[in-house]
Amino acid sequence: MNKEKLIFAQSSNTNGLHIPAAALKLAELPGDGPLEYRVMPGTVIAYKKQMTAMELVHVANSLQELADEFFSILCDVCGECEHCEEECPYDTADFEMDLKLPEALLKRAGIPRDAKLFAATAEGGVLICEAKQVPSLQSVPADLMDKLLACDICPGELEKHILKGEIVYGGA
């Protein structure tokens, strides 16, 4: 967690994060007070440096509402699983795949020993590479994948959107 002072720039000539005063007021954040921020993949969250128990409850609830909203968008974009007529190619065991390869093989491929691996089938073979190089369903955190599957999301549609790198939120 980064605990450096968060600077709210007042003009476009100043380096810093630009948040309108009205937004700070609605969030009940002090425009000139001590704030902290947390940087996580895809987001930066600013919050008061000191909070009461009730303020912390409100922050946790707001973050949960946002997570639920994003989760709902994923579910809407991917739709419900229509349970393939033939055997579904997305067996839930596939999402829990914990591939292990000999350390020497990983070293030759330049893949860190603790890297998460991705496997894809090709006619007559299997391609295995580091998961971060090929975004896939295996790249989705297990607890989130479990939640998505529990809501009967179509894993094929989710994988299609992941592999194509499609914009599924916002846009033009």
What residues does each domain of the chain span? 92-164
- So what's the pLDDT on residue 114? 80
Sign of CA dihedral 74, 143, 120, 89: negative
Place of tokens 């607890």: 143
pLDDT-derived band of residue 16, with 50, 70 and 90 as boundaries?
low
Q: How many residues does the chain have?
A: 172
As a whole number of Å, the end-to-end CA separation of the chain is 33
Residue 51 pLDDT more than 60?
A: yes
Partners of 153 in the β-ladder: 80
Residue 63 pLDDT more than 50?
A: yes
- pTM for the structure as a whole: 0.65
pLDDT digits (tens, 9 = 90+) for 127-169: 777 776 667 777 788 788 888 888 888 888 888 888 888 899 9
Place of tokens 């946790």: 60
pLDDT-derived band of residue 10, with 50, 70 and 90 as boundaries?
very low
Residue 25 pLDDT more than 80?
A: yes
Whether 40 contacts 2, CB under 8 Å: no
pLDDT top residue among 54 and 97:
54
Least Cα distance to 117 among 102, 104, 98, 103 occurs for 98
- So what's the pLDDT on residue 53? 96
What mean pLDDT do residues 88-106 have? 70
Question: 77 φ, ψ to 5°?
Answer: -65, -40
